[in-house]
Each structure stands twice: as structure tokens, then as C-alpha cells.
Amino acid sequence: MTKPTSLPSAAWRLVDQLYQWPSVLLTLTAIFWGGNALASRLAVGHISPYLLVFLRWVLVLAVLWPLYGRQVRAHWPQARPQLGKITVMALLGFTGFNALFYVAGYHTSAINIGILQGAIPVAVLLGAYVMYGTRTTPLQIAGVLITSIGVVVVATRGMPLSILEIGLNQGDLTMLLACVLYAFYTVALRDRPSMPGTAFFTLLALIAAITSVPLLVVEAMTTGLALPTWQGWLVTLYVAIFPSCLAQLFYVRGVDLIGPGRAGVFVNLVPVFAAILAVGLLNEPFKAFHGIALVLVIGGIWLAQRTQGR
């Protein structure tokens, strides 16, 4: 890393040391992503969901482009041939996922949103098999089944047999759809252009900001825009700074240090932190089925990743 002239030597040494500790970086990433579940609930009534998505990526871009815009321009020849695919990736993983994520906050709890994110690694395994024929092991199959049961337990409020009836929570179903979109984005990362992760993320943020404009127009013409209150601005700043900029950059650095297989294990902590934060900060009730679901989701993901290498 190049030392920024604006940072004092002591501050730079602290940043440099932090960037050598993958466990710290990846744990912070999981905390920030867990906090995003709370943000989806705190945003309700204080900023409309599509406006939040738009402002989120505009703010992210305002921070990242001055830092990495030159990298994007330098690697444009590598990115341009895959621009259509990159646009779909940004539309699914950044615009679509976050739009559904914040809409889900209107209809379900932060605890449920956090736990249901545990479906993403499993959906990634399934997507990799469908798109690339990636072979799965018996442990991975067992992990998929166990985690799926955990997701069903949350979605049915501890009554799995009720899935046979038409009556699932709208917010839970919306969150599950969001997880599917993000899984497609994650699987597509396998063939991303040959360019630095920071530059690629900055390009995705640019496309996400642009593709969120149509959603903003639809929202304005239908339900109307709910301009942010002071709490809405605080939520917007949080999701732009922490789950977006810092978490994504920390995750890229963590993958660089220990590889995607080991780094991916830390995603298992997102439902745990989401549940802890929701109970501690939002006073949401933690029921027995939440605990059962957490054990199933985390245990299933752990099994599914047991055979993954660096």
C-alpha cells in the first residue's frame, strides 16, 4: 500500500497493521454486514427503500472514484469486452439485492433478515453447480440441506410444515429472493475481468448508481419518495460507509491475505452479529426458533465449506 501524505505517521502505522490482520478485517466485515440488517429496519418511515439504494451507491462512488477511478480507467480495456456481464452483475448483486433487502425491512425483523442471509453461501454452491458444473462433496450436500432447513425454520416462524400452506411472511420471501440475486452475482465473480478488486468494485458501484435511477423514478411515480429524515440520513451514511466501502475493501484485503475459501467462512458470522445487534439495539425478541435456525444455518454452512481450500 502507498502511504497517503494526508495521514500522520502514527495513523498510517495503525492502518498498515490492521491490513495485516485478516481475522480482524473479516470479523469487522461480518459486523458491518450484520449491522446492515438493522439499517433496513431503522430506515422504515425515515427514507424510502429505493431512494436509500440510490443515495447509498452515489455516496460510495463519491468516496471510491477519487481513490480508484484512475485504476478503472487504466483497466478499461480489460473491462470493456465484458461490460454487459458486469452490468448484469451490478444490477443483480448491488442494485437488485439492496433494493429487495431494504424492502424486506418493511415486512420482517432484522433477526430474520440476518439469519436468512445464511442462504447465500448455499445458493452460491448450487449456482456454481448449475452454471459451471462445479462438483459438490457429500459434506457440501449435507450442508446445503441443513442450512435450507434452518432457512425454512425462520421463514415459517418455527413451524416448517406450514410451508405447505400459502402464508409465508412477505419480507422473508423478499429476502430469500435477494439472496438468490446475490448468489448469481457471487458465482459470476469467477470470471470477472483481470483487474484489481478495488477498481472492479468501483466500476460496479458506478453501474449500481446508474441502474438504481429507474427504480427511483418508479418509486417517485407510485408510492412517492420519502425524503430522508435525520435518522434516514444517519442510516444512509452508515450503509454507505460501513457495509459498502469499508466492508467490501476489508473483504477484498482478507481474501488477498488468506484466500477466498478461508475468508468465506467469516460470512457465517453475519447472522450471528445481526441477531446480537437486533436484540441489543432494537430490542427485538429472540425466540427459540431463532436459536435453532442459527445453529442449523451456521452448522450447515460450516459443513458445506469443510472441503474448500484456499
- pLDDT band for position 2 (cuts 50, 70, 90): very low
Residues 6+ apart with CB under 8 A from 130: none
Q: Is residue 168's pLDDT more than 70? A: no
pTM: 0.76
Residue 142 — pLDDT band, cuts 50, 70, 90? Answer: confident
Strand ranges for the chain from DSSP E? none
pLDDT of residue 294: 75
Of 139, 184, 155, whose CA–CA distance to 307 is shortest?
139
Separation CA 76–CA 83 (nearest Å): 10
Could you tell me the CA-to-CA distances from 218 to 41, 112, 177, 212 in Å, in that order?
A: 22, 27, 20, 10
Mean pLDDT (whole number) for 107-134:
75
- 252, three cell numbers: 477484498
Mean pLDDT of 245-253: 80
The reported pLDDT for the residue numbered 7 is 46
pLDDT at 275 over 50: yes
Highest mean predicted confidence (pLDDT) among 30-34, 164-168, 200-204: 200-204
Query: What is residue 263's predicted lDDT score, i.e. its pLDDT?
Result: 62
> What are the φ and ψ backbone dihedral angles of 196, each rounded to 5 degrees?
-55, 145
Q: Output the pLDDT for position 6.
A: 45
Rg (CA), the chain: 19
**123-132 LR contacts (CB < 8 Å, sep 24+):** 123/179, 123/180, 123/182, 123/183, 124/183, 124/186, 124/187, 125/304, 126/183, 127/183, 127/184, 127/186, 127/187, 128/187, 128/190, 131/187, 132/187, 132/190
Residue 165: pLDDT band with limits 50, 70, 90: low
Cα 282 to Cα 115: distance, rounded to the nearest angstrom = 16
Higher pLDDT residue, 238 or 184? 238
Domain map (residue ranges) of the chain? 28-304
Residue 223, C-beta contacts closer than 8 angstroms, at least 6 positions apart: 48
Dump the DSSP string for 67-129. Answer: HHHHHHHHTHHHHGGGHHHHHHHHIIIIIIHHHHHHHHTTTS-HHHHHHHTTHHHHHHHHHHH
